[in-house]
Amino acid sequence: MAQGDTELEARLEEQDEFEPSEEFVAQANVSDAGIYDEFEENWPECWERAADLLDWDEEYDEVLDDSNPPFYEWFTGGELNACHNCVDRHVENGDKNRVAIKWEGEHGETRTYTYQDLYREVNEFAAALRDLGVEEDDVVTLYMPMVPELPIAMLACARIGAPHNVVFAGFSAEALATRMNAADSRFLVTCDGYYRRGDPLDHLDKTNEGLDSVDHGVDATVVVDRLGDDGFGHDLKGNQHDWDELLDEQRGERVDPVERDAEDMLFLMYTSGTTGQPKGVKHTTGGYLSYATWTSHAVLDIEKEDTYWCSADIGWITGHSYIVYGPLALGSTTVMYEGTPDFPNRDRMWDIVEKYAVDVFYTAPTAIRAFMKWGSKYPESRDLSSLRLLGTVGEPINPRAWKWYYEHIGNENCPVVDTWWQTETGGMMITTLPGVKNMKPGSAGPPLPGIDAQIVDTNGDEVEPGRAGYLTVNKPWPGMLRTLYKNDERYISEYWEEYSDTDSDDPDDWVYFPEDGAKVDDDGYITVLGRVDDVINVSGHRLGTMEIESAIVGVEGVAEAAVVGGNHEVKGEAVYAYVITEDGYEEGEDLRARIIEGVEDAIGPIARPEQVVFTPELPKTRSGKIMRRLLEDVANGAELGNTSTLRNPDIVEQIEAKVHAQSD
Ligand code: PRX
């Protein structure tokens, strides 16, 4: 490392507050500090500012209907179409030749879609879906990797008013079936396969296996041919259709965008919760789209001239809001990359930034920590001077990783927004407005204008700055989930019951609980500490420990299992599984391999346990409750908390010794 670099590192290490450059502020979409007061004084009408970023077919009557909390309705009476907002209006406004999607495959092949191209293909696919029998409000499941056909299918669904239900392609066959069953979805769009680290992966085989477990059967499946000659030679079954053939049949077809009520469902997205059953988060057309668009404009500072890249997968909410809906509604160019960040080399991300002159880049702390580990020579070998703003999402970012990102990717010129939000919130909630606020590494920032968040104790009383407590949100916001699909009761019990007076009709008595721990400083900056429920966050992906446990106990030879998250240098958290074997079964490599396979089959490789620790017992309280906190301490090599309340205190030391032996 050069002398200058060392000095720079030392200076950055000490600095705990960073100002955006004057140059950035001068051009920022939002740079007036008065916006916070303006939103507070004019709440909820302030949200018209978000709705104004969209075209409405029918003006709304009311910004917020809060007469039946927590079933809030936004922009009531309004009508609009999300696809029209993301595609048609740009074509009509003279931007038909502007690039909408820049796609790059893992092997380096590229595809470019102008807004006109997108318009044509979305229309043709919408017509194809209709011909296959998809009607308004039918849920269409999209089980697809990062290929352009995924956003095209999402927009085609939105065009005809059919909510989409995207299932992450890395999820297993069983996870696909669970989500299709839960959503009563009879239509599926998938693909033959995709590339990972240079090799083709068979996706259709996994899809077919999942389809066998869809209880209600499936009316039609559409298969994208991604692999061409590298494909696995599957024949399509009777109700399976080839994407390209369908489009050929529909060449030149146009489908009028359906006018959707603002409160009509735009999509469903399943996410992990505390029970084994994933939760179907329902997002709406008016509120969600306004919110995703507004935050893309105000926080990511996207302008239509920008080339913007979010490296998430569209299979997660980040990709929905900030690869597809937000950037396309703003008419910008959104970059999609199919593969892994280190294929063929560790400079792949920076190669893409350089090639497309990316202006705004949004990624996850887990990726930043991996880049940091690989070393700064990779970004230094590329021209990253096009970058104007950087963002992170998905998990807490440690100040060291933040500063590395700021220095080595942003060249100390780009604000870094650390954005806290959730699948349920639809869009960013807590982060700095980059044209207004200073940044503090490690802290997401203050709540965005119009967002009312507090840190409270178990009684719901506000805690002092600096003390850890629970994050709560006290006012509704347009991007919020409306309910859990067909399960209003669980919606209330998961998110509202903890801190609300559930008998009250007064919205002031209703408080949203995101199930995160947090603390606030004297300037109102919030540091999110992590989940306080049984959900772990692996590489920014949310996994329910119960889901993993039920996969493990389903493996022959396993009597009981407890899963917790342990700290991991790159992934943030990793899965630790503590397993008791059934009598007559041997602990060892065979069972370990079957457990890992069981988890991969039930959920997918992302949930793969980092460590499987066999133990004769689990630490339990006298009432028989597993003490997970202790198991976490063991996973983290931390000092053990109080074990005196345990029925079997000795077991903890035995487990600890095993974990140490395995990690050595
Ligand atoms: O614990 C918080 C963490 O990720 C959870 C939400 O996960 P998911 O619904 O999968 O959405 C991820 C992408 C929005 C939150 O409850 N989280 C997300 N962003 C941050 C974060 N934790 C700390 N800092 C963040 N910036």
pLDDT tens-place string over residues 276-302: 789 999 999 999 999 999 999 999 999
pLDDT tens-place string over residues 616-649: 999 988 877 888 888 999 999 888 877 888 888 8
Shared-domain flag, residues 235 and 377: yes
In 3D, which of 553, 552, 594, 559 has the Cα closest to residue 575? 552
Measured by CA distance, the residue closest to atom 6 of ligand 1 is 422
User: Which of 166, 368, 395 gets mutated to test ligand 1 (max ligand atoms within 8 A of its CB)?
Assistant: 395
How far is residue 496's CA from residue 42's CA, in Å, rounded to a whole number? Answer: 25
How far is residue 388's CA from residue 368's CA, in Å, rounded to a whole number? Answer: 17
What is residue 621's predicted lDDT score, i.e. its pLDDT?
A: 83
Q: Which residues contact 269 (CB under 8 A, 6 or more apart)?
A: 165, 166, 280, 281, 283, 317, 320, 423
pLDDT tens-place string over residues 407-461: 999 999 999 999 999 999 999 999 999 999 999 999 999 999 999 999 999 999 9
Identify whether 493 is part of a domain.
Answer: no
What is residue 648's predicted lDDT score, i.e. its pLDDT?
A: 87
Looking only at the bridges linking them, the beta strands covering 279-284 and 265-271 are: antiparallel
Distance 431 CA to ligand 1 centre (A): 12
**One-letter-per-residue 3-state SS of 544-557:** EHHHHHHHHHCCCC
Distance 310 CA to ligand 1 centre (A): 16
Percentage of residues in the chain having pLDDT higher than 90: 88
The domain that contains 357 carries what CATH number? Answer: 3.40.50.12780
Distance 90 CA to ligand 1 centre (A): 32
SS3 12: helix
Distance 556 CA to ligand 1 centre (A): 34
Distance 420 CA to ligand 1 centre (A): 6
Identify whether 65 is part of a domain.
Answer: no
- Among 418, 433, 464, the domain boundary falls at 418
The total of other beta-carbon atoms located within 10 Å of residue 346's CB is: 18
Q: Which atom of ligand 1 is nearest to the CA of 431?
A: 26
pLDDT tens-place string over residues 115-147: 999 999 999 999 999 999 999 999 999 999 999
In 3D, which of 575, 611, 615 has the Cα closest to residue 592? 611
Integer-rounded Cα radius of gyration of the chain? 24
Q: Check pLDDT > 80 for residue 547.
A: yes
Distance 255 CA to ligand 1 centre (A): 37
Q: Check pLDDT > 60 for residue 1.
A: no
Q: Which atom of ligand 1 is nearest to the CA of 535?
A: 1
Helix (H) or strand (E) holding 152: helix 149-160
Q: How many domains does the chain have?
A: 2
Q: Check pLDDT > 90 for residue 10.
A: no
SS3 509: helix
Mean pLDDT of the chain: 95
pLDDT tens-place string over residues 169-186: 999 999 999 999 999 999
Range of the domain at 560: 534-663
Q: Which atom of ligand 1 is nearest to the CA of 514?
A: 16
What is residue 659's predicted lDDT score, i.e. its pLDDT?
A: 85
Q: What mean pLDDT is predicted for residues 479-494?
A: 97
Distance 196 CA to ligand 1 centre (A): 26
Identify whether 166 is part of a domain.
Answer: yes
Q: Which atom of ligand 1 is nearest to the CA of 528?
A: 23
What is residue 628's predicted lDDT score, i.e. its pLDDT?
A: 86
The domain that contains 584 carries what CATH number? Answer: 3.30.300.30
Measured by CA distance, the residue closest to atom 14 of ligand 1 is 422
Q: Check pLDDT > 80 for residue 573.
A: yes
Q: Which residues contact 567 (CB under 8 A, 6 or more apart)?
A: 573, 574, 635, 636
pLDDT tens-place string over residues 460-475: 999 999 999 999 999 9
Secondary-structure breakdown of the chain: helix, strand, coil percentages, each rounded to the nearest 5: 35, 25, 45
* pTM attached to this predicted model: 0.94
Q: Which atom of ligand 1 is nearest to the CA of 529?
A: 23
Distance 93 CA to ligand 1 centre (A): 36
pLDDT tens-place string over residues 517-540: 999 999 999 999 998 888 999 998
Measured by CA distance, the residue closest to atom 5 of ligand 1 is 422
What DSSP letter does each residue of 306-361 carry, written as one string?
-EEEE-S-TTSHHHIIIIIIHHHHTT-EEEEE-S-TTSS-TTHHHHHHHHHT-SEE
Shared-domain flag, residues 221 and 360: yes
Q: Which of 358-372, 482-496, 541-555 has the lowest mean pLDDT?
A: 541-555
Distance 347 CA to ligand 1 centre (A): 27
pLDDT tier, 378 (very low <50, low <70, confident <90, very high otherwise):
very high
pLDDT tens-place string over residues 187-244: 999 999 999 999 999 999 999 999 999 999 999 999 999 999 999 999 999 899 999 9
Measured by CA distance, the residue closest to atom 23 of ligand 1 is 396
Q: Check pLDDT > 50 for residue 2.
A: no
Measured by CA distance, the residue closest to atom 24 of ligand 1 is 396
pLDDT tier, 96 (very low <50, low <70, confident <90, very high otherwise):
very high
Identify whether 281 is part of a domain.
Answer: yes
265 beta partners: 284
Measured by CA distance, the residue closest to atom 25 of ligand 1 is 420
- Among 397, 418, 439, the domain boundary falls at 418
SS3 141: strand
Compute φ and ψ for 281, nearest 5 degrees. Answer: -80, 125
Distance 426 CA to ligand 1 centre (A): 11
Distance 528 CA to ligand 1 centre (A): 9
Shared-domain flag, residues 399 and 250: yes
Measured by CA distance, the residue closest to atom 12 of ligand 1 is 394
Identify whether 359 is part of a domain.
Answer: yes
Distance 389 CA to ligand 1 centre (A): 20
Identify whether 617 is part of a domain.
Answer: yes
Identify whether 466 is part of a domain.
Answer: no
- Among 418, 451, 473, the domain boundary falls at 418
How far is residue 426's CA from residue 543's CA, in Å, rounded to a whole number? Answer: 18
Shared-domain flag, residues 135 and 277: yes
Identify whether 563 is part of a domain.
Answer: yes
What is residue 4's predicted lDDT score, i.e. its pLDDT?
A: 54
User: Which of 296, 316, 393, 515 gets mutated to test ligand 1 (max ligand atoms within 8 A of its CB)?
Assistant: 393
Shared-domain flag, residues 414 and 552: no
Ligand 1 pocket (Cβ < 6 Å) reads 271, 317-318, 393-396, 418-423, 444, 514, 516, 528, 530-531, 537, 542
Q: How far is CA 104 from the centre of its chain?
A: 21
User: Which of 318, 471, 516 gets mutated to test ligand 1 (max ligand atoms within 8 A of its CB)?
Assistant: 516
Q: Which atom of ligand 1 is nearest to the CA of 312?
A: 13
